[in-house]
Structure 1
């Protein structure tokens, strides 16, 4: 599996996901800039057969409706919100599976940022590589805002559903927010050496105009405060014992950070 990050807008990521060891079929995650998608499809010499839309917000979906007219009727546009995603052609189910060439895809519904948010877990059946495209649910070192949901829903999304994926699953999120997320993490989990090390690395990457994606599920469990709401350090920092209350306090503080 080859994954090509394609920057868009100020800090968004689209991703071209390619079955590079087999069929050369590909999918585009969160299509918002059809010109850059076309450029990369041509550059990689692949056949685009799918679009994966994590949620309806314009900065993740606004060119979904251009995929079929541009790349043909063989393209399936997967999403979980046909009422709010123009161009969606296939509704996902929680735990639903399908294939892109030799890539197995599983859809994970993660309501909170929006009620219909979905993450896409991709497993290369040839190489064993695994990746999850988390949109605005899980960021490197952070979480999405709870626009249409609750702390309980975000906890279920992060610490039950996504945390249950294999630790070596690569995490590809929807925005380049890593440095800011880890600076916040340092204010609530500052004694954690993983936070400090990851922040130093992320600052170096950005100073050199490099991406900070991907992370991994295993690493997120070490430094992402929203995946550590059951740890004593985060309970102490928030003054709460209930993990859901810890989650809620963390999100409120991050909103104002």
Structure 2
């Protein structure tokens, strides 16, 4: 586990779950939220370790490794408020949420980020400089388009690009090395990316975590966030960001 003490007295507990997921607890005062529920028993044990009472679940989308623990956690914490995307059917949701809704005691703003799934949402803690983005954005990657379109995902990523550069990006999987191996083949002239790839190789050789990242770092090294960059567009022989994004996403899917 790792603990981050962020501005506005927000504590974030990061932990590994399942095969490659990251889970998060967000705590302030008497309130604690689980960002998604990949493993209910593990979340329960971590809550007990810290002496926290689960008051909220903040789901990003409906996939089982993100919402599969809802019911079990509610059996242990029956008064827990379960927030989730208004445009998806997720078990146990008590508070459907969408664009610009404010949740978790007014600490987090919700943004719609369809693409990976049709109703995916993210949680932005602006006063603490933290983004919990589920499977929309990864370090040097983004989620597969299981339900959405390239235009939707590019619009979602542009929304995240507009956040402050120093925003900490808490994504939901340790996919960074695999993403980096692809990224250097797509954004071939990006020196910042080449340097980051070497760093990530060393980190993963030591089994170090590569998450969280930052908006600044993703804007400079993530090809999926750089579909409007002329050098990347030239590599994929297009001048339209949506078409560029679609080609980058297809190339990664078959990489």
Q: Do both proteins adopt the same fold according to a TM-score greater than 0.5, normalized to the shorter chain? A: yes
Name the SS of the counterpart of 1:7 in structure 2.
strand
Name the SS of the counterpart of 2:157 in structure 1.
helix
Cα displacement string for residues 113-163 of structure 1 (whole angstroms, at most 9, x for unaligned residues): 111100111134xxxx2111111111110111111111111111001x111
Name the SS of the counterpart of 2:130 in structure 1.
strand
The runs of 5 or more residues in structure 1 that have no matched partner are none
State how 1:62-73 maps to structure 2 within 5 Å: 62-73=68-79
Aligned: 1:95 with 2:100: yes
Q: Is the 8 A contact 2:154 2:245 kept in 1?
A: yes
State how 1:83-232 maps to structure 2 within 5 Å: 84-100=89-105, 104-124=107-127, 129-159=128-158, 161-232=159-230
Q: TM-score, normalised by structure 1?
A: 0.91
Shift of 1:10: 1.1
Shift of 1:191: 2.2
Name the SS of the counterpart of 1:146 in structure 2.
coil
- Alpha-carbon distance between aligned partners in 1 of 2:208 and 2:31, rounded to the nearest angstrom: 27
Name the SS of the counterpart of 2:107 in structure 1.
strand
Cα displacement string for residues 73-120 of structure 1 (whole angstroms, at most 9, x for unaligned residues): 1x11110158631121110021101334xx710011111111110011
Q: Is the 8 A contact 1:55 1:81 kept in 2?
A: no
Q: Is the 8 A contact 2:114 2:120 kept in 1?
A: yes
Aligned residues: 246
State how 1:41-80 maps to structure 2 within 5 Å: 41-73=47-79, 75-80=80-85
Q: TM-score, normalised by structure 2?
A: 0.92
The one of 237, 252, 255 equivalent to 2:253 is 255
- Alpha-carbon distance between aligned partners in 1 of 2:228 and 2:88, rounded to the nearest angstrom: 37
Name the SS of the counterpart of 1:135 in structure 2.
coil
Name the SS of the counterpart of 1:35 in structure 2.
helix
